[in-house]
Amino acid sequence: MDYWSFGTVIFECICGFRPFLHHMQPVQWISKVKNKGPKDIMAIEDMNGEVRFSTQLPYPNNLSKPLLELVECLLQMLLLWDPALRGGGLDPETNRPHCFTAMHSILNMKVMHVLDMTSAQLHSMILGTEESLHSLQIRLETQTQAHIPPLSQELLQESGMSLDPRWPPAQCLPDGLCGWDSFIVFLFDKSLTKYSGPLTARRLPDSVNFIVRETKTQLPLSALRKVWGEAVSYIRGLKEDYLRLYQGQRAAILSLLRYNSNLTRYKSVLLSQSQQLRAKLAIFKTSIQHDLEQYTKQTDTGISSEKMLKTWQENEKKVDEFMEVADVSRLDDEIVALHSEIVELQRSPFARRQGDVMEQLENKAIELYKQLKAKCKSPDPPHGYSDSSDMVGTIVQMVQNQDRVLKDLYTHLSKILICKRRIVDLFPEVEGAIVKIKASNAEVMQMQLKRQKEFWFLLKIACAQRDSLSPSFTQQSTDSETVSQLLDDNQRYMAQLTSLLQDATQEMEHSVMDQDWSWIQFGAVKVDTQ
């Protein structure tokens, strides 16, 4: 296996150029590179023409710190000048070169990238297979700039869901290097609601820092080509830094929406319980008022109980107290106002990605690099030297634009976190109101059952009094019943007598008319003759 070529390919894939003075002729190259140390993995020629060796990968390289150390160790074994020593020698445990053991470790490692949203620092944590979330949080406390304690840490995935403490964090990572390398967890400090910004931009590479300080200095095109390539990488890195922070903001808004969804569910339960309690109280109060009215009417002639009257009056006062418990209008108004603020946060232009200007500046830097590259390849370049005014101007614009968009991002993020804190503060109040309403509901039911028992008790008393009436009262009742019966008999007899008289009268009328009344006529004639 050609270890040297393999190491060179790895280096070029990471950095974008070959490790050892690729622009030199072979004889000159050998005379320079053979002087490298056993752990040197690269050689660069500075602006003054001096060759400097390094045991580390150049900055920037876009490798996380845990992976960077392992890759540098691997390259140190592959890029040894002595061919017999390349590969790191045999590993007695595997009987294979040590470089294969290093590659196996790299391919099997589990790394979780944690972006601290309070400082915009990216922490890469190597995870054990069974390492708990609490163990990870303790390690983060020591590495974060603000030393955030575990109780104040909130680790959100890109979907807005928190890491489940019941499972090892390593189970959240996607399979494969490409999976976990793009997987980011966002760290928030729950004790803070306002994050400061804009944050300091990433550090400039030494060569890029040189052209920024010496903008008008004329440099060879071959040297500028490498420096401008690093400048393009730096500008792209600024854009990626913003995009990661924007992903953190999106995770925060998604987490806020999850909290808001839970609050809405609690609100529905609260309003339902409140309406049920109000309905029961209205019925119970109407019943109590009716009982008091009826009790007042029959007090003089019926049954009276001061204890029962006092209980009913106390129940009427309790109903008024329970009505205050059922009144959840204040909480309802706060939740509705909070919903409106969340909708406004979602509609805000700062809730959308503000990277258009960054992309334009990145494309401009790439175009400048392509133009410089074309000049270097020209067989007869018009000028062998050039300054870096255009590229430095693009870098300055990129840094200024990043400051502006990060300021807007953190202002919007602070509003999101304030709304989330208000929701968290409302949860205990809503839960407490639901508990009070349920307790009041149960007490109203007990009062209703007690009222029913009191009615049954009154019925028992009434029945007992009826069975134990005095004899005089019984005699009076009997006499009154006899008089009534006599009157009824008298009326019945009078009706029968009237009917008999009418029948007799009709019979007499018919019998008189049937008599011979002719003698009356004879007597009349005789009188006339006389």
CATH number at residue 160: 3.10.20.90
Q: Does residue 207 form part of some domain?
A: no
Same domain, residue pair 287 and 423: yes
**Cβ(52)–Cβ(43) under 8 Å?**
yes
Cβ–Cβ under 8 Å, residues 137 and 153: yes
Q: How far apart are CA 28 and CA 49, in angstroms?
A: 14
User: Which CATH number does the domain housing residue 268 bear?
Assistant: 1.20.1270.250
Q: By mean pLDDT, which of 91-105, 191-205, 338-352, 515-529 is the weakest? A: 515-529
Quick one: 7 and 44 in the same domain?
yes
Q: State which residues form the domain around 331.
A: 219-467
Q: pLDDT confidence of 375, banded at 50, 70, 90?
A: confident
CA 325 – CA 319 distance, rounded (Å) = 10
Give me the pLDDT at residue 264, please. Answer: 92
CA–CA dist 312, 448 (Å, integer)? 11
Which residue in the block uniquely carries the two structure tokens 């919007």?
Answer: 412
Residue 494 domain-assigned? no
Tell me: do 425 and 379 sit in the same domain.
yes
Q: What's the rounded mean pLDDT across residues 8-27?
A: 79
Q: Within a domain: residue 502?
A: no
- Same domain for 226 and 352, yes or no, is yes
The yes-or-no verdict on residue 255 having pLDDT over 70 is yes
Report the number of distinct structural domains present in the chain: 3
List 251's β-bridge partners, or say none: none
pLDDT in tens, 157-184: 888 888 888 888 877 776 655 555 678 8
Whether residue 187 sits in one domain with residue 92? no
pLDDT band at 447 (very low <50, low <70, confident <90, very high): confident
> 439 and 452: one domain?
yes
Do 99 and 114 belong together in one domain? Answer: no
Between 232 and 284, residue with greater pLDDT: 232
In which band, very low, low, confident or very high, does the pLDDT at 524 lie, cut at 50, 70 and 90?
Answer: very low
As a dihedral over the C-alpha atoms of residue 264, residue 268, residue 269, residue 273, rounded to 10 degrees, the angle is 150
**Residue 112, number of CB atoms within 10 A of its CB:** 22
Residues 292 and 226 in one domain: yes
pLDDT for res 442? 86
Judgement on whether residues 57 and 159 belong to the same structural domain of the protein = no
- 22 Cβ contact list (under 8 Å, min separation 6): none
Answer with the residue of higher pLDDT: 278 or 217: 278
Which pLDDT belongs to residue 175? Answer: 65
* CATH assignment of the domain containing 54: 1.10.510.10
Kindly indicate the confidence band of residue 313, based on its pLDDT and cuts at 50, 70 and 90: confident
In a domain, 229, yes or no: yes
Among residues 467, 482, 507, which one ends one of the domains? 467
Domain edge (last residue) among 448, 467, 486: 467
Q: How does pLDDT run across 501-520, given as a tens digit for each residue?
A: 566 556 555 444 455 545 44
Higher pLDDT pick, 327 / 477: 327
Winning range, highest mean pLDDT, from 77-86, 108-117, 191-200, 262-271: 262-271
- Distance between CA 171 and CA 185 in Å, rounded? 13
Least trusted range by pLDDT, from 52-56, 132-136, 270-274: 52-56
Residues 306 and 434 grouped into a single domain: yes
Confidence of residue 474 (pLDDT cuts 50, 70, 90): very low
Is 474 contained in some domain?
Answer: no
How far is the C-alpha of 307 from the C-alpha of 165, rounded, in Å?
58
Computed over every residue of the chain, the mean pLDDT equals 78
Q: For helices 65-78 and 98-108, what crossing angle results, to 10°?
A: 160
Q: Provide the strand spans (E) within 133-206.
A: 153-156, 184-189
328, two tokens: 């959840």
Provide mean pLDDT across the span 254-270.
92
Q: Spell 323-348 as b/e; 16+ CB within 10 A means b.
A: eebbebeebeebbeebeeebeebeee
Which token pair is 265?
């569910």
**pLDDT band at residue 32 under the 50/70/90 scheme:** confident
127 and 89 fall within a common domain: no
Find the mean pLDDT for residues 47-73.
Answer: 79
Three-class HEC string of 182-201: HCEEEEEECCCCCCCCCCCC
Residue 515 within any structural domain of the chain: no
Mean local confidence (pLDDT), 39-48: 75
Residue 40 burial (10 A CB sphere; 0-12, 13-18, 19+): buried
199 Cβ contact list (under 8 Å, min separation 6)? 119, 120, 406
CA pair distance 278, 270, nearest whole angstrom: 12
Beta partners for 184? 113
The predicted pLDDT at position 527 comes to: 37
What pLDDT does 252 receive? 92
Q: What is the pTM of this model?
A: 0.73
- The arithmetic mean of pLDDT across residues 339-351, rounded, is 89
Q: Single out the residue in 107, 129, 144 at which a domain terminates.
A: 107
**What local confidence, expressed as pLDDT, does residue 257 receive?**
93
Question: Residue 68 pLDDT more than 80?
Answer: yes
What tens digit of pLDDT does each residue of 402-419 get?
A: 888 888 888 899 999 999
pLDDT at 42 over 70: yes
Taking the CB of residue 183, how many other CB atoms lie within 10 A of it?
Answer: 15
> Where is 125: in which H helix or E strand?
strand 121-126
Strands 42-45 and 51-54: antiparallel
Asked if 232 contacts 207 with a C-beta cutoff of 8 angstroms, the reply is: no
Look at residue 251 and tell me whether its pLDDT is greater than 80. Answer: yes
pLDDT, tens digit (0-9, with 9 covering 90-100), for 89-135 = 777 777 788 888 888 888 888 888 898 888 888 888 888 878 888 88
- The DSSP letter of residue 161 is P
Q: Look at residue 191 and tell me whether its pLDDT is greater than 80.
A: yes
What Rg do the C-alpha atoms of the chain give, in angstroms?
51
Kind of pairing, strands 184-189 and 42-45? unpaired
Do residues 276 and 405 both lie within one domain?
A: yes
Q: What is the pLDDT of residue 487?
A: 57
List residues bridging with 386 in a β-sheet: 219
* Residue 517 domain-assigned (yes or no): no
- Looking at residue 416, its pLDDT comes to 92
- The per-type count for the chain, helices as H runs and strands as E runs, is 14, 10
Q: Is residue 50 part of a domain?
A: yes
Instruction: Quickly list H helices, 298-355.
Output: 306-326, 329-347
Pairing of β 111-116 and β 184-189: parallel
Q: Is the model's pLDDT at 337 over the cut of 50? A: yes
